Amino acid sequence: MTNRAAFVGATTQHCSLATSKLDVQSVSKWFRTSRANVHALAEVSMQVAAGQIVCVVGPSGCGKSTLLDIIAGLTQPDAGQVFADGQEVAGPGRERLVVFQEPSLFPWLNVFGNVMFGLRLCPELRGDERRDIAHHYLSLVGLEKFEKAHVHELSGGMKQRVALARALAPDPQVLLMDEPFGALDAMTREHLYDDVQKIWADSRKTVVFVTHNMREATCLGDRILLMSSAPGTIARSFDIPLSRPRSIYNAELVAHAAAVADALRGTMGGGVPE
């Protein structure tokens, strides 16, 4: 396992360190509980260039969320480091904002208040600037009519749109998305792929997008990193040289997705279901 991780680390060195926005170096993580000692990540290395979308794909429990938490600075790795713009990540900060897998909007604030939360923590902005930015991002995700709505009144898709607006509003350098659309129905999801591509085309954020959906990864990613589990390692890396915007019904895209899916089955030792 360690060999393979080292190998992948070597092959991805073509992203020179100076230009890579995110540089994850041999990160390992164990979770020690009273019942078990889980080796969640084993020497994971990856680089993401500025303005790139990298999708991390892997079966449930392979350590995707753990990896994202470590990049965000929410979890400390047991070994290895993460560099953002050449600076070691020591803790969470608003240069790297997260759209979480589970619902994370604050129920005591309305939609507008949720988007304002991060903006209020930007001391360089004036009050009216904050409000303008919040309006802007809410209309970007198509929710300008729901600014006054309470969180529990929104559908799942709307909640994740608000979470996206909340993460975009403080203008982070890096956007970390942890299976943000995993709980949504297919139609809502497809709609959101278009939105994400549109927003990315305008803002050129650096994005790490975690998913276990092959087509989703192929639709959004410049690169796909395939993870294998127990312990979590990056098994393979695929470039997706398709033009944007992409549709998940595009035949070429489907072919790429199938190739990644085959490789995933290989890393899982003969098609173990999730």
Partner 1 sequence: MRRAVVVTAFFAGLLLIWELAAETGWWSPVLFPSAVSVARYLWGAMNDGTLLEAIRVTLQRLLLGYVIGAAIGLPVGVLTSSSKIMDDTLGSLALGLQTLPSVCWVPFAVLWFGQTESAMLFVVVMGTVWSVIIATNHGARTIPPIYAKAARTMGSRRLHLWMMVMLPASLPFLVSGMKQGWAFAWRSLMAAEIFVTILTGFGLGQLLHYGRELNAMDQVIGAMMVIVLIGLLADRILFAPWERFLHRRWGMDGG
Ligand X SMILES: Nc1ncnc2c1ncn2[C@@H]1O[C@H](COP(=O)(O)OP(=O)(O)O)[C@@H](O)[C@H]1O
Q: Is 118 in the site for partner 1 (CB under 8 A)?
A: yes
| Residue from 1, 15, 117, 261 binding partner 1 (CB under 8 A) | 117
| Whole-angstrom distance, CA of residue 197 vs CA of residue 201 | 6
| Residue from 22, 40, 158, 268 binding ligand X (CB under 6 A) | 40
CB 21 within 8 A of CB 206: yes
Q: Is 215 in the site for partner 1 (CB under 8 A)?
A: no
Q: Is 92 in the site for partner 1 (CB under 8 A)?
A: yes
Token code pair at residue 132: 């303008």
DSSP 144-204: GGGTT-BGGGS-HHHHHHHHHHHHHTT--SEEEEESTTTTS-HHHHHHHHHHHHHHHHHH-
The option from partner 1, Mg ion, ligand X, none interacting with 63 (CB < 5 to 8 A, set by class) reads: ligand X
- Which x/- pattern over 134-163 shows residues binding partner 1 (rule: CB under 8 A)? ----------------xxxx----------
CB 200 within 8 A of CB 207: yes
Place of tokens 């979308």: 53
What H or E segment, with its residue span, contains residue 232?
none
Q: Is 96 in the site for partner 1 (CB under 8 A)?
A: yes
Q: Cβ of residue 266: shortest distance to Mg ion, in angstroms? A: 22
Q: Is 32 in the site for partner 1 (CB under 8 A)?
A: no
| Residue from 28, 45, 47, 65 binding Mg ion (CB under 5 A) | 65
Site for ligand X in 45-64 (CB under 6 A): 58, 60-64
- Coil, strand, or helix at residue 56? strand
Residue ranges with strand state E in the chain: 20-32, 37-49, 53-57, 79-84, 87-88, 96-99, 174-178, 206-211, 223-228, 233-239
Distant-in-sequence, close-in-space partners of 113: CB < 8 Å, separation ≥ 6: 106
Judged by CB, which is closer to partner 1: 109, or 230? 109
Q: Is 24 in the site for ligand X (CB under 6 A)?
A: no
Site for partner 1 in 243-272 (CB under 8 A): none
Where on the chain is the footprint of ligand X (CB under 6 A)? 31, 33, 38, 40, 58, 60-66
Where on the chain is the footprint of Mg ion (CB under 5 A)? 65
